[in-house]
Chains A and B, each alone.
Chain A
Amino acid sequence: GAVVSQHPSRVICKSGTSVKIECRSLDFQATTMFWYRQFPKQSLMLMATSNEGSKATYEQGVEKDKFLINHASLTLSTLTVTSAHPEDSSFYICSAPRFPGQINEKLFFGSGTQLSVL
């Protein structure tokens, strides 16, 4: 079964509103989670690394004020797309590593959130 849960799976919002996406690790703790963005028929692009209890680390070119990340607990990270615009429409996916820092580390993904901004 799923080890990483992501909600909502689909959201449609008006331009200018903010949208929050949740990512939970189900049966393990995740001090680090990752947020990706994916355009149709393209690969996953890492947006940011979410760190429990500290600030997120953003990849080059990703606006931290646009994509707010909060990792308030060991099992929950949230991504808030602030003042969303149509160009923010995309598929957002979170992931969490199991056995982090160990040689057998595995990265599991949530089911993704399709954001459509009208």
Chain B
Amino acid sequence: GQQLNQSPQSMFIQEGEDVSMNCTSSSIFNTWLWYKQDPGEGPVLLIALYKAGELTSNGRLTAQFGITRKDSFLNISASIPSDVGIYFCAGRGTSYGKLTFGQGTILTVHP
């Protein structure tokens, strides 16, 4: 089956620093989605990407759909304490609705 490798597994940064995380897949995806999950909550959609090469921003967040359709990255600029949480990438192949999730990146931001 499809697998997603998300890295890094965890990050410890200072407030104000930029953050970058990425996902790579063993197969092609048609959609990439990035989610953030706070403890005890469901994932919240941050950015959705639908075309290879697409670069999309949402405030301080920027994500790109890789040209090969097998990878995506998420950047967070000027991190703040409320950015703390687990970030998941998710990819969708040809089955609408069904997503494959990365393992998650645990982000800790020190004030």
Contact = CB atoms under 8 A, between A and B. Distances in A.
Partners in one complex: yes
Interface of A: 4, 6, 9, 32, 34, 41-44, 46, 49, 91, 93, 95, 97, 100-101, 103-112, 114
Nearest to A41: B106
Which of B40, B43, B101, B104: most chain A CB closer than 10 A? B43
Contacts of A105: 31, 92, 96-97
B45 interface: yes
Q: What is the interface of chain A mostly: helix, strand, loop, or mixed? A: strand
Interface of B: 30-31, 33, 35, 40-45, 48, 50, 86, 88, 90, 92, 96-99, 101-104, 106
Contact of B50 (A4, A34, A104, A107): A104
Contact of B45 (A9, A41, A106): A106
Nearest to B41: A111
Contacts of B97: 32, 34, 49, 97, 100, 105, 107
Contact of A112 (B40, B101, B102): B40
Contact of B48 (A6, A104, A112): A104
